[in-house]
Amino acid sequence: MQGNGGGPGRLDRARVVLSTGSLYNLALDRAFELAGSCGYDGVEVLVDARPDTYDVGYLRRLVRRWGVPVLALHTPFAPRVDGWGAASERRVEQTVQLAQELGAETVVAHAPLRWHIVRFQVHSTLGQRGLHFVLPLSNRAEERYGRWLREELPGLEERTGVRVGVENMPAGRMFGRRVAHYRLTTVEECLGWPRLVLDTTHWGTWGVDPAEVYGRVRERVVHVHLSDYDGREHRMPFSGRLGLERLLRALAAGGYAGLVSVEVDPWAIAGGDWGEKQIGRVLALAAERVRCYLQPPSHSPDGHAAPGHPLSAREGT
């Protein structure tokens, strides 16, 4: 068994979970319900400004109601969360405490910001879109956070038994060129983190193949954020240009036993149709396809699914 899936009580196989961030515009109760009805093994709860996302008692009731465990938690990146500190390291600590109370095995943390960023959200009939402006001033608070991740985080993991993975972050754009708004986000820099969260769409913004990245950092990967990229981030898996089936096959071949979290833009799921059948159909198909690639049967010499494999008739869809 690969080290990323180790630990008492953890299964020796990859599990497919749904990030509640994929449905952040809906009630949290509905996200749990859809995760259960669409065949996901659990959820990754994105902590945001809504108290429901960090109320332990309420989250436990959702787990019991829908039979869907909270297997991972994502630290909040909303500017203000009532009762939560503003410093990134304090937010990681609070999320780890929440993970302990819920029995979640993994916490996702962002890499440190390089600059000060002012963010705006714009709502329209086409969905919610984020705008940001970069202030070219060094972010000293995030410098401290970076030191904390390197020096203090290992002790926190040892004391609590909760794994904390640092997520690779996307490229920004300035005057048509890629720029790094975050520190420590190149493949070489990611090799410095003992535990990584591999976000596929974020690698796509850099023009990097996630499967190639995994080949270099696989012993450090404890969690995967799965979505596609077609010039827009967080598209549904297998709808963009990243060739995610190659990554999933590599995870299967390498014995990956962590979580694969479908983390997409809600409008990529619904396409403007918020009917329950539409959302359920799209999410269920994604879970089925991801799971099939993670648990492949014998393959033909050319690396494609053998005849009779559930995906062999749908590779082009």
* Mean pLDDT over the full length of the chain: 85
**Res 115: pLDDT:** 53
The DSSP element (H or E) to which 174 belongs, if any, is: strand 172-174
Cβ–Cβ under 8 Å, residues 245 and 238? yes
First-to-last C-alpha distance (Å) of the chain = 33
Which of the four pLDDT bands, split at 50, 70 and 90, describes residue 171?
A: confident
Q: Which residue has the higher pLDDT, 181 or 96?
A: 96
Is the pLDDT assigned to residue 316 strictly greater than 80? no
**Res 13: pLDDT:** 87
Maximum Cα–Cα distance across the chain: 57
**Res 187: pLDDT:** 86
pLDDT average, residue stretch 159-178? 85
Q: Tell me if residue 89 falls in helix, strand or coil.
A: helix
Domain positions in the chain: 3-110+160-294
Is the pLDDT assigned to residue 227 strictly greater than 70? yes
Q: Residue 72 has what DSSP assignment?
A: E
**Res 177: pLDDT:** 74
Beta bridge partners of 116: 135
Is the pLDDT assigned to residue 155 strictly greater than 50? yes
How would DSSP label each residue in 94-163?
Answer: HHHHHHHHHT--EEEEEPPBSEEEEEEEEEETTEEEEEEEEEEEE-HHHHHHHHHHHHTHHHHHHHH--E
Helices within the chain (DSSP H only): 28-37, 56-66, 88-102, 140-151, 153-160, 187-190, 200-205, 210-217, 244-253, 266-270, 276-294
**Res 180: pLDDT:** 64
Chain-centre distance of CA 93, in angstroms? 19
> Which tens digit of pLDDT belongs to each residue from 102-146?
999 999 999 998 654 545 455 555 555 554 444 444 557 778 999
Q: Tell me if residue 46 falls in helix, strand or coil.
A: strand
**Res 121: pLDDT:** 52
**Res 19: pLDDT:** 98
Which of the four pLDDT bands, split at 50, 70 and 90, describes residue 298?
A: low
Q: Which residue has the higher pLDDT, 171 or 304?
A: 171
pTM of the full structure: 0.84
Is the pLDDT assigned to residue 317 strictly greater than 50? no
**Res 12: pLDDT:** 76
CB count within 10 Å of CB 61 equals: 13
Q: Considering the chain, what percentage of its residues have pLDDT values greater than 90?
A: 68
Q: Residue 232 has what DSSP assignment?
A: S
Nearest CA among 129, 135, 133, 140 for reference residue 119: 133
Is the pLDDT assigned to residue 244 strictly greater than 60? yes
Is the pLDDT assigned to residue 30 strictly greater than 70? yes
pLDDT average, residue stretch 182-208? 89
Query: Which class does domain 3-110+160-294 fall in?
Result: alpha beta
